[in-house]
Structure 1
Amino acid sequence: MENKLLIKYVDVDIYQQDLLVLKDVQLEIHSGEFVYLLGKVGSGKTSLLKSIYSELPIESGVAGVLGYDLRDLKMNDAPFLRRKIGIVFQDFQLLTDRSVYQNLDFVLRATGWKEQANIEEQIANVLNQVGMYAKRHKMPHQLSGGEQQRIVIARALLNSPEMILADEPTGNLDPETGNELIELLYNIRLSGTTVVMATHNLGWLDKFPGRVFRCDNESLVELKNNQPVTPETVDAESGN
């Protein structure tokens, strides 16, 4: 599998409004990697993810994502970058007045898909991948939290992204369901899709090994294999 460089940050400062949250960020992420972002609430995990899909502007350093220069990215080009990135939020953000199928159909049509046969095939593909094809005609309120999050992951896979960004994807789920979701994301990584996940749950690190970064004191630091990760590394709360 080609070890393609997807993200390259050199000396990047990340601001949330006018507040500096991370400074001098150095980051390289390649295809097929599983990457954890740890850190206390407000330490910059979510801000870093938002910078990657160009929701927060970058004005210093070198910032390349999937072939785009984020410092130079025009507003019209941002949707093309985002189509290469699947985004999984903690709070689902499904359209509550549409079925599972209609939620996914809406996204495909909004991103330029037109052929009905292709749309139906792609929806079937991603729903099968997350084990939810049988629930395609259900409304979101008829699904459990774990099932809704599986649909969110299916939605993130619709445009065959090179990378998935997941922000506390198990924050609202019980431990068993959360474990199933992380296993699903981990298996998606095996197909070559990079996964970058902000989490406060240290339990995943042994079960699903990956690279580990910590946001702390306005810095992003990679924790190497011989560095212990303790509960003090993160807050007991989710979010950022």
Structure 2
Amino acid sequence: MEDQPLISYKNVDINQQELGILNNVNFELKKGEFVYLIGKVGTGKSTFLKTIYGELDICEGEATVLGYDMRTIKQKNIASLRRKLGIVFQDFQLLTDRTVYDNLDFVLRATGWKQFSERESRIEEVLRLVGMENKGYKMPNELSGGEQQRIVIARAILNKPEIILADEPTGNLDVETGRNIVKLLQEICTQGTAIIMTTHNLNLLSEFPGKVYCCGQHQLREASEY
């Protein structure tokens, strides 16, 4: 159904190594929504994201992500789930021994794109979308931090994901570059991709509005004052 949430958590408890991180989480994400997760270091923002892509198990409650029941999902289905998600890390995690083009081609080949011409066309398309169409031949270490993050976003959208999880995508960037990255994510969001972004930079919230959830004291709550 069109209005079904992409993510639905009801009364979910999240633990890591026996420690209770978040209790009684209620969270929904719908198509085309832009959601910020804010909160101090260690309050569970990244841990929450890990439950969405199957890195951490859900202990209690009901949790569905893109139709998968995260309480009962089998290991073999986690790969299928992750193909429908785009993940943007703070520290880029690009393969440093190959060009930008080959980084993107590696992902497409790993996710089942057999035809060279189709892969080439999609790589050109995503590089154009992130404003990096002339950088495919570069090695990651030849790019600035902001350029590397644009490539990471290009990598995240290769398979046209329904959701992008962006974990502190501006954390290693200067203020202006960080603003441009959030602007790019918001542009992608307007095409219908839902985005969850963790951030410490509260200035972004007023400039680039979205729904805000706050992590703290083992709770994840929607914050109305932003």
Asked if Structure 1 and Structure 2 have the same fold, meaning a TM-score greater than 0.5 normalized by the shorter chain, the answer is yes
For 1:85-110, what per-residue CA distance to the aligned partner results, in whole angstroms no more than 9, with x for missing partners? 00000000000000000000000001
Listed as ranges, the gaps of 5+ residues in structure 1 are 230-240
Q: Secondary structure at the match of 1:61?
A: strand
Aligned equivalents of 2:210 and 2:43: distance in 1?
20
How far the C-alpha of 1:3 sits from its partner, in A, is: 4.0
Aligned equivalents of 2:45 and 2:18: distance in 1?
17
Aligned equivalents of 1:162 and 1:10: distance in 2?
21
Aligned equivalents of 1:59 and 1:163: distance in 2?
23
Does 2:124 correspond to 1:124? yes
Q: Which residue of 1 aligns with 2:206?
A: 206
Does the CA-based 8 Å contact 1:40-1:215 persist in structure 2? Answer: yes
Q: Which residue of 2 aligns with 1:234?
A: none
How far the C-alpha of 1:59 sits from its partner, in A, is: 2.4
Q: Secondary structure at the match of 2:6?
A: strand
Aligned equivalents of 1:211 and 1:25: distance in 2?
16
Q: Which residue of 2 aligns with 1:98?
A: 98
Q: Which residue of 2 aligns with 1:115?
A: 115
* Poorly superposed stretches of 4+, deviation over 4 Å: none
Q: Secondary structure at the match of 1:185?
A: helix
Q: Which residue of 1 aligns with 2:89?
A: 89
Mapping 1:68-217, distance limit 5 Å: 68-217=68-217
TM-score by length of 2: 0.98
For 1:127-157, what per-residue CA distance to the aligned partner results, in whole angstroms no more than 9, with x for missing partners? 0000111000000000000000000000000
Aligned equivalents of 2:24 and 2:219: distance in 1?
7
TM-score by length of 1: 0.92
How far the C-alpha of 1:4 sits from its partner, in A, is: 4.0
Aligned equivalents of 1:217 and 1:104: distance in 2?
39
Q: Which residue of 2 aligns with 1:238?
A: none
Q: Secondary structure at the match of 2:172?
A: coil
Q: Secondary structure at the match of 1:56?
A: coil
Listed as ranges, the gaps of 5+ residues in structure 2 are none
Q: Which residue of 2 aligns with 1:39?
A: 39
State, as a whole percentage, how many aligned pairs show the same letter.
59
